[in-house]
């Protein structure tokens, strides 16, 4: 059990670092396209915000892939595709239960779910900030 906690905390730390890098990338993307957000075109703002969404979703999928790699390295799954599916179910906290890990490593599932809740929450909070900022700037450009 202690080793599962260690593996879980180390994997969460790696995911947090990845999330931080992708938040910085999303901010740079947003600021690099700020001229579109400052225009009166709502479509231009939506395009920029959609770019941010894509970066954040890719980041969450990459984190689930990191967990899947851990599961595979621990010998829980022979195919990465199966490990990845199981990981996405955990990360998104769906909890289907159609694939379960052995008793030896099953504690990693809830740890990944906790990681997913936190990282999806961070992504949602960041997205709302970008969306609100874009809407405010577009409204200002339209003279509202």
**Of 82-86, 94-98, 103-107, 108-112, which range is least confident?**
94-98
Q: Given this model, what pLDDT does residue 1 score? A: 83
Residue in 12, 123, 122, 9 with CA at minimum distance from that of residue 66: 12
pTM higher than the cut 0.85: yes
Q: Taking 90 as the threshold, does the pLDDT of residue 144 lie above it?
A: no
Nearest to 54 by CA among 138, 123, 129: 123
pLDDT tens string 19-42: 999 999 999 999 999 999 999 999
Query: Which pLDDT score, from 0 to 100, does residue 95 have?
Result: 87
CA dihedral of 123, 126, 130, 131, whole degrees rounded to 10:
60
Cα separation, 66 vs 76, whole angstroms: 14
What's the sign of the alpha-carbon dihedral 117, 119, 122, 123? negative
Position 137 scores a pLDDT of 94
Summarize pLDDT for 113-127 with one digit per residue, the tens.
Answer: 999 999 999 999 999
């Amino acid at each position: 059990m202690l080793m599962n906690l260690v593996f879980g905390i180390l994997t969460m730390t790696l995911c947090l670092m990845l999330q931080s890098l992708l938040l910085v990338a999303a901010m740079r993307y947003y600021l690099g396209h700020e001229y579109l957000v400052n225009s009166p075109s709502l479509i231009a703002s939506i395009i920029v915000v959609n770019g941010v969404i894509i970066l954040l979703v890719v980041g969450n999928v990459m984190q689930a892939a990191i967990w899947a790699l851990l599961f595979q390295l621990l010998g829980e799954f022979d195919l990465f595709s199966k490990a990845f599916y199981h990981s996405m179910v955990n990360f998104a906290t769906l909890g289907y239960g159609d694939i379960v890990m052995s008793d030896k490593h099953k504690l990693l599932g809830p740890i990944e779910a906790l990681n997913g809740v936190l990282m999806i929450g961070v992504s949602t909070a960041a997205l709302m900030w970008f969306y609100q900022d874009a809407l405010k700037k577009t409204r200002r450009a339209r003279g509202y």
